[in-house]
Amino acid sequence: MAGSGQSRYYRSYSLGSHLINRTQGIRGLVNYGFSCCVNALLQSFCATWELVDILDKWNPLHVENKNRNVPLQLKEVFKAMQSDHSQPVSHHDFLKCLDKNRIRLYVQHDADEVFLLILNFLQRQMDEDTLVQAILSLYKVSLETVLHCRDCTYIQSYTSFLLSLPLHIKEDHNSLEDCIKSFFEPEVLRDTEKCYCEQCGMKTCATRGFKIISLPPILCLHLKRFRSYHDYTKKLQCKVTFPETFDFLEIVKEETLSQKYVTNGSKYSLCAVIVHIGIARFGHYTAYVHHKGDQSWYYANDSSVRKVCWSDVQSSYGGDGREKTAYMLLYRRDTQEQQFDGTETL
Protein backbone atom coordinates (compact mmCIF):
# COMPACT_ATOMS: atom_id res chain seq x y z
CA MET A 1 0.00 0.00 0.00
CA ALA A 2 1.19 3.50 -0.72
CA GLY A 3 3.38 4.82 2.02
CA SER A 4 3.89 1.41 3.63
CA GLY A 5 6.44 -0.04 1.22
CA GLN A 6 4.03 -2.71 0.00
CA SER A 7 2.47 -3.12 -3.42
CA ARG A 8 -1.21 -2.30 -3.70
CA TYR A 9 -3.17 -4.89 -5.68
CA TYR A 10 -6.48 -3.81 -7.15
CA ARG A 11 -8.49 -4.10 -10.31
CA SER A 12 -7.74 -1.74 -13.16
CA TYR A 13 -10.28 -0.14 -15.45
CA SER A 14 -9.60 1.55 -18.77
CA LEU A 15 -10.30 5.19 -19.43
CA GLY A 16 -9.25 4.90 -23.04
CA SER A 17 -10.59 7.03 -25.87
CA HIS A 18 -10.58 6.73 -29.63
CA LEU A 19 -7.44 8.87 -29.79
CA ILE A 20 -4.49 6.52 -30.35
CA ASN A 21 -1.60 8.46 -31.76
CA ARG A 22 1.74 10.13 -31.48
CA THR A 23 1.36 13.80 -30.60
CA GLN A 24 4.25 16.24 -31.02
CA GLY A 25 6.89 13.62 -30.16
CA ILE A 26 4.85 11.89 -27.43
CA ARG A 27 3.80 8.33 -28.21
CA GLY A 28 1.17 6.37 -26.37
CA LEU A 29 1.91 3.01 -24.75
CA VAL A 30 -0.02 -0.22 -25.16
CA ASN A 31 -1.84 -1.39 -22.04
CA TYR A 32 -1.19 -5.12 -21.71
CA GLY A 33 -3.53 -5.41 -18.75
CA PHE A 34 -2.65 -3.79 -15.42
CA SER A 35 0.33 -1.98 -17.03
CA CYS A 36 -1.10 1.54 -16.59
CA CYS A 37 1.19 2.21 -13.61
CA VAL A 38 4.35 1.45 -15.61
CA ASN A 39 2.94 3.31 -18.64
CA ALA A 40 2.41 6.50 -16.62
CA LEU A 41 5.89 6.23 -15.11
CA LEU A 42 7.47 5.68 -18.53
CA GLN A 43 5.84 8.89 -19.79
CA SER A 44 7.24 10.82 -16.83
CA PHE A 45 10.69 9.24 -17.25
CA CYS A 46 10.71 10.07 -20.96
CA ALA A 47 9.70 13.66 -20.18
CA THR A 48 12.79 13.81 -17.97
CA TRP A 49 15.14 14.42 -20.87
CA GLU A 50 18.15 14.46 -18.52
CA LEU A 51 17.57 10.77 -17.71
CA VAL A 52 17.07 9.93 -21.39
CA ASP A 53 20.35 11.65 -22.24
CA ILE A 54 22.26 9.79 -19.53
CA LEU A 55 20.99 6.40 -20.69
CA ASP A 56 21.76 7.39 -24.28
CA LYS A 57 25.42 7.85 -23.26
CA TRP A 58 25.54 4.36 -21.77
CA ASN A 59 27.28 1.78 -23.95
CA PRO A 60 26.66 -1.56 -22.21
CA LEU A 61 29.60 -3.87 -22.80
CA HIS A 62 29.25 -6.64 -20.26
CA VAL A 63 25.53 -7.32 -19.98
CA GLU A 64 25.12 -11.09 -19.73
CA ASN A 65 21.35 -11.49 -19.54
CA LYS A 66 19.90 -8.66 -21.62
CA ASN A 67 16.32 -9.79 -21.07
CA ARG A 68 16.69 -9.21 -17.31
CA ASN A 69 18.57 -5.90 -17.52
CA VAL A 70 16.18 -3.04 -16.65
CA PRO A 71 18.38 -0.11 -17.78
CA LEU A 72 19.07 -1.77 -21.14
CA GLN A 73 15.38 -2.47 -21.75
CA LEU A 74 14.47 1.04 -20.57
CA LYS A 75 16.97 2.49 -23.04
CA GLU A 76 15.23 0.55 -25.83
CA VAL A 77 11.79 1.79 -24.74
CA PHE A 78 13.01 5.40 -24.77
CA LYS A 79 14.21 4.94 -28.36
CA ALA A 80 10.81 3.59 -29.39
CA MET A 81 8.94 6.39 -27.58
CA GLN A 82 11.02 8.99 -29.43
CA SER A 83 10.65 7.36 -32.85
CA ASP A 84 8.40 8.86 -35.51
CA HIS A 85 5.51 6.42 -35.62
CA SER A 86 1.80 6.97 -35.19
CA GLN A 87 1.04 3.69 -33.42
CA PRO A 88 1.41 3.26 -29.64
CA VAL A 89 4.66 1.75 -28.40
CA SER A 90 4.74 -2.01 -27.91
CA HIS A 91 6.90 -2.49 -24.81
CA HIS A 92 6.05 -6.00 -23.67
CA ASP A 93 9.78 -6.88 -23.48
CA PHE A 94 10.27 -4.14 -20.88
CA LEU A 95 7.32 -5.39 -18.85
CA LYS A 96 8.65 -8.97 -19.02
CA CYS A 97 12.04 -7.66 -17.89
CA LEU A 98 10.40 -6.04 -14.87
CA ASP A 99 8.54 -9.28 -14.19
CA LYS A 100 11.84 -11.17 -14.11
CA ASN A 101 12.99 -8.61 -11.55
CA ARG A 102 9.88 -9.26 -9.41
CA ILE A 103 7.77 -6.33 -10.55
CA ARG A 104 5.07 -8.74 -11.65
CA LEU A 105 3.10 -8.61 -14.85
CA TYR A 106 -0.70 -8.34 -14.74
CA VAL A 107 -0.66 -6.96 -11.19
CA GLN A 108 -1.40 -3.33 -10.35
CA HIS A 109 1.44 -1.81 -8.31
CA ASP A 110 1.96 1.41 -6.43
CA ALA A 111 3.51 4.09 -8.69
CA ASP A 112 5.91 5.55 -6.12
CA GLU A 113 7.18 2.09 -5.19
CA VAL A 114 7.79 1.09 -8.82
CA PHE A 115 9.46 4.47 -9.48
CA LEU A 116 11.97 3.79 -6.69
CA LEU A 117 12.45 0.16 -7.73
CA ILE A 118 13.29 1.14 -11.32
CA LEU A 119 15.85 3.68 -10.10
CA ASN A 120 17.29 0.97 -7.85
CA PHE A 121 17.63 -1.42 -10.79
CA LEU A 122 19.38 1.29 -12.83
CA GLN A 123 21.86 1.65 -9.99
CA ARG A 124 22.46 -2.09 -9.60
CA GLN A 125 22.43 -3.21 -13.24
CA MET A 126 24.43 -0.53 -15.06
CA ASP A 127 28.13 -1.20 -15.51
CA GLU A 128 29.28 2.43 -15.69
CA ASP A 129 29.49 3.98 -12.23
CA THR A 130 29.85 7.57 -13.46
CA LEU A 131 26.47 7.40 -15.22
CA VAL A 132 24.88 5.61 -12.26
CA GLN A 133 25.94 8.45 -9.97
CA ALA A 134 24.63 10.96 -12.50
CA ILE A 135 21.19 9.30 -12.39
CA LEU A 136 21.15 9.30 -8.58
CA SER A 137 22.27 12.92 -8.49
CA LEU A 138 19.43 13.78 -10.83
CA TYR A 139 16.81 12.89 -8.16
CA LYS A 140 18.74 12.96 -4.87
CA VAL A 141 17.43 15.12 -2.01
CA SER A 142 20.25 15.19 0.54
CA LEU A 143 19.08 15.64 4.13
CA GLU A 144 20.54 16.01 7.59
CA THR A 145 18.47 14.22 10.25
CA VAL A 146 18.77 15.84 13.69
CA LEU A 147 17.78 13.87 16.82
CA HIS A 148 17.39 15.84 20.07
CA CYS A 149 17.12 13.64 23.17
CA ARG A 150 14.27 14.88 25.38
CA ASP A 151 15.87 13.39 28.54
CA CYS A 152 19.41 14.77 28.41
CA THR A 153 19.21 17.31 25.51
CA TYR A 154 22.01 15.46 23.68
CA ILE A 155 21.95 16.18 19.92
CA GLN A 156 23.09 13.76 17.26
CA SER A 157 22.79 14.00 13.50
CA TYR A 158 23.43 11.98 10.38
CA THR A 159 23.09 12.52 6.64
CA SER A 160 20.94 10.54 4.23
CA PHE A 161 19.15 11.01 0.95
CA LEU A 162 15.75 10.39 -0.62
CA LEU A 163 14.90 9.95 -4.30
CA SER A 164 11.25 10.76 -3.66
CA LEU A 165 10.05 13.13 -0.94
CA PRO A 166 7.03 11.56 0.86
CA LEU A 167 4.49 14.23 1.83
CA HIS A 168 1.73 13.61 4.37
CA ILE A 169 -1.65 15.11 3.49
CA LYS A 170 -4.58 15.97 5.74
CA GLU A 171 -8.12 14.76 5.22
CA ASP A 172 -9.29 18.19 4.08
CA HIS A 173 -7.96 20.92 1.81
CA ASN A 174 -4.16 20.91 1.36
CA SER A 175 -1.64 22.94 -0.57
CA LEU A 176 1.70 21.58 -1.76
CA GLU A 177 3.43 24.39 0.11
CA ASP A 178 1.82 23.34 3.40
CA CYS A 179 2.67 19.68 2.77
CA ILE A 180 6.34 20.58 2.27
CA LYS A 181 6.36 22.74 5.42
CA SER A 182 4.82 19.86 7.38
CA PHE A 183 7.58 17.47 6.25
CA PHE A 184 10.21 19.68 7.86
CA GLU A 185 8.34 20.32 11.11
CA PRO A 186 10.02 18.53 14.08
CA GLU A 187 8.16 15.51 15.44
CA VAL A 188 8.39 13.73 18.77
CA LEU A 189 9.38 10.04 18.66
CA ARG A 190 7.79 8.04 21.49
CA ASP A 191 7.03 4.44 22.43
CA THR A 192 8.15 2.07 19.64
CA GLU A 193 9.76 4.97 17.75
CA LYS A 194 12.23 5.85 20.52
CA CYS A 195 15.84 6.30 19.39
CA TYR A 196 19.09 5.22 21.02
CA CYS A 197 20.81 8.10 22.78
CA GLU A 198 24.60 7.75 22.97
CA GLN A 199 24.80 9.88 26.11
CA CYS A 200 21.94 8.16 27.99
CA GLY A 201 23.02 4.72 26.79
CA MET A 202 19.45 3.64 26.03
CA LYS A 203 16.44 4.37 23.87
CA THR A 204 14.74 7.62 24.81
CA CYS A 205 12.05 9.96 23.54
CA ALA A 206 13.52 12.33 20.99
CA THR A 207 12.57 15.18 18.72
CA ARG A 208 13.44 14.50 15.09
CA GLY A 209 13.80 17.12 12.41
CA PHE A 210 15.15 17.29 8.87
CA LYS A 211 17.42 19.92 7.38
CA ILE A 212 18.19 20.38 3.68
CA ILE A 213 21.74 19.80 2.50
CA SER A 214 21.02 20.01 -1.23
CA LEU A 215 18.14 19.95 -3.71
CA PRO A 216 18.18 17.93 -6.96
CA PRO A 217 17.69 18.92 -10.60
CA ILE A 218 14.48 16.81 -10.63
CA LEU A 219 12.43 17.00 -7.45
CA CYS A 220 9.98 14.11 -7.05
CA LEU A 221 7.17 14.66 -4.54
CA HIS A 222 4.97 11.76 -3.42
CA LEU A 223 1.53 12.77 -2.14
CA LYS A 224 0.68 10.01 0.37
CA ARG A 225 -3.01 9.59 -0.45
CA PHE A 226 -3.32 6.00 0.75
CA ARG A 227 -3.80 5.37 4.45
CA SER A 228 -4.07 2.03 6.24
CA TYR A 229 -6.75 1.48 8.87
CA HIS A 230 -6.26 -1.93 10.48
CA ASP A 231 -7.55 -4.35 7.83
CA TYR A 232 -8.33 -1.99 4.96
CA THR A 233 -6.82 0.87 2.97
CA LYS A 234 -8.48 4.17 2.24
CA LYS A 235 -7.62 6.64 -0.48
CA LEU A 236 -7.79 10.30 0.51
CA GLN A 237 -9.64 12.08 -2.31
CA CYS A 238 -9.13 15.47 -0.61
CA LYS A 239 -7.92 18.48 -2.56
CA VAL A 240 -4.19 19.17 -2.87
CA THR A 241 -3.37 22.28 -4.89
CA PHE A 242 0.06 22.60 -6.47
CA PRO A 243 1.70 25.41 -8.47
CA GLU A 244 3.18 25.21 -11.94
CA THR A 245 6.29 26.96 -10.59
CA PHE A 246 7.60 27.63 -7.08
CA ASP A 247 10.70 28.56 -5.10
CA PHE A 248 11.52 25.90 -2.50
CA LEU A 249 13.36 28.36 -0.26
CA GLU A 250 10.33 30.64 -0.13
CA ILE A 251 8.35 27.77 1.43
CA VAL A 252 10.68 26.43 4.12
CA LYS A 253 12.09 28.37 7.07
CA GLU A 254 15.72 29.45 7.15
CA GLU A 255 16.43 27.10 10.07
CA THR A 256 15.44 24.23 7.79
CA LEU A 257 18.71 24.68 5.91
CA SER A 258 21.67 22.67 7.14
CA GLN A 259 24.98 24.38 7.80
CA LYS A 260 26.21 22.11 5.00
CA TYR A 261 23.59 23.49 2.59
CA VAL A 262 24.78 23.63 -1.02
CA THR A 263 23.42 26.57 -3.00
CA ASN A 264 22.48 25.10 -6.36
CA GLY A 265 19.14 26.73 -7.18
CA SER A 266 15.71 26.40 -5.58
CA LYS A 267 13.23 27.53 -8.27
CA TYR A 268 11.27 24.70 -9.89
CA SER A 269 8.81 24.17 -12.74
CA LEU A 270 6.41 21.23 -12.97
CA CYS A 271 7.34 18.73 -15.69
CA ALA A 272 5.15 15.67 -14.97
CA VAL A 273 2.20 14.55 -12.84
CA ILE A 274 1.38 10.90 -12.15
CA VAL A 275 -2.38 10.69 -11.67
CA HIS A 276 -4.39 8.01 -9.87
CA ILE A 277 -8.05 7.65 -10.79
CA GLY A 278 -10.38 5.63 -8.62
CA ILE A 279 -10.30 4.30 -5.06
CA ALA A 280 -7.80 2.23 -3.09
CA ARG A 281 -8.86 -1.14 -4.53
CA PHE A 282 -10.10 -0.09 -7.95
CA GLY A 283 -8.07 2.36 -10.01
CA HIS A 284 -6.08 3.46 -13.02
CA TYR A 285 -2.89 5.51 -13.59
CA THR A 286 -2.39 8.23 -16.21
CA ALA A 287 0.11 11.08 -16.60
CA TYR A 288 0.37 14.73 -17.53
CA VAL A 289 3.73 15.58 -19.10
CA HIS A 290 5.24 18.88 -20.15
CA HIS A 291 6.88 18.53 -23.55
CA LYS A 292 10.32 20.04 -24.01
CA GLY A 293 9.76 20.73 -27.71
CA ASP A 294 6.69 22.95 -27.83
CA GLN A 295 6.50 23.71 -24.07
CA SER A 296 2.93 22.39 -23.94
CA TRP A 297 1.12 20.02 -21.61
CA TYR A 298 -0.05 16.59 -22.82
CA TYR A 299 -2.25 13.99 -21.20
CA ALA A 300 -1.13 10.38 -21.66
CA ASN A 301 -3.68 7.67 -20.90
CA ASP A 302 -2.03 4.45 -22.08
CA SER A 303 -2.25 4.49 -25.92
CA SER A 304 -4.17 7.80 -25.99
CA VAL A 305 -2.24 11.08 -26.01
CA ARG A 306 -3.76 14.53 -26.36
CA LYS A 307 -2.68 18.13 -25.92
CA VAL A 308 -4.16 19.91 -22.90
CA CYS A 309 -3.81 23.19 -21.03
CA TRP A 310 -2.77 24.02 -17.46
CA SER A 311 -6.38 24.09 -16.26
CA ASP A 312 -6.67 20.42 -17.30
CA VAL A 313 -3.63 19.58 -15.17
CA GLN A 314 -5.27 21.41 -12.27
CA SER A 315 -8.25 19.06 -12.57
CA SER A 316 -6.07 16.50 -10.77
CA TYR A 317 -6.08 18.54 -7.54
CA GLY A 318 -8.87 16.26 -6.25
CA GLY A 319 -11.58 17.23 -3.77
CA ASP A 320 -15.34 17.60 -4.33
CA GLY A 321 -15.71 13.84 -4.68
CA ARG A 322 -13.29 13.62 -7.61
CA GLU A 323 -11.47 10.33 -8.04
CA LYS A 324 -8.88 11.80 -10.42
CA THR A 325 -6.05 12.91 -8.16
CA ALA A 326 -2.38 13.78 -8.50
CA TYR A 327 -0.26 11.14 -6.76
CA MET A 328 3.31 12.07 -7.74
CA LEU A 329 4.67 15.44 -8.87
CA LEU A 330 7.96 15.88 -10.72
CA TYR A 331 9.49 19.35 -10.78
CA ARG A 332 12.54 20.45 -12.78
CA ARG A 333 14.95 23.01 -11.39
CA ASP A 334 14.91 26.08 -13.61
CA THR A 335 17.62 25.96 -16.25
CA GLN A 336 18.44 29.61 -15.58
CA GLU A 337 19.80 28.46 -12.22
CA GLN A 338 21.65 25.32 -13.28
CA GLN A 339 22.93 23.41 -16.25
CA PHE A 340 22.76 19.66 -15.67
CA ASP A 341 25.46 17.85 -17.61
CA GLY A 342 25.13 14.43 -16.02
CA THR A 343 28.12 14.97 -13.73
CA GLU A 344 26.61 16.98 -10.86
CA THR A 345 27.44 15.59 -7.42
CA LEU A 346 25.45 16.24 -4.28
Active site residues: 36, 284
- Name 270's bridge partners: 331
Element (H, E) at 211: strand 206-214
Half-sphere exposure of 108 (CA within 13 A, CB side): 24
Strands 282-290 and 11-12: parallel
Whole-angstrom distance, CA of residue 232 vs CA of residue 263 = 43
Instruction: Give kind and range of the element (H or E) at residue 267.
Output: strand 267-279
Amino acid at position 71, single letter: P
| Cβ neighbour number for residue 23 with a 10 Å cutoff | 19
341, exposed or middle or buried, with CB in 10 Å at 0-12, 13-18, 19+?
A: exposed
> Nearest CA to 98 among 60, 70, 66?
70
Pairing of strands 22-23, 26-27: antiparallel
Instruction: Give the C-alpha separation, 169 to 182, whole Å.
Output: 9
In angstroms, rounded to a whole number, what is the distance separating the alpha carbons of residues 227 and 168?
A: 10
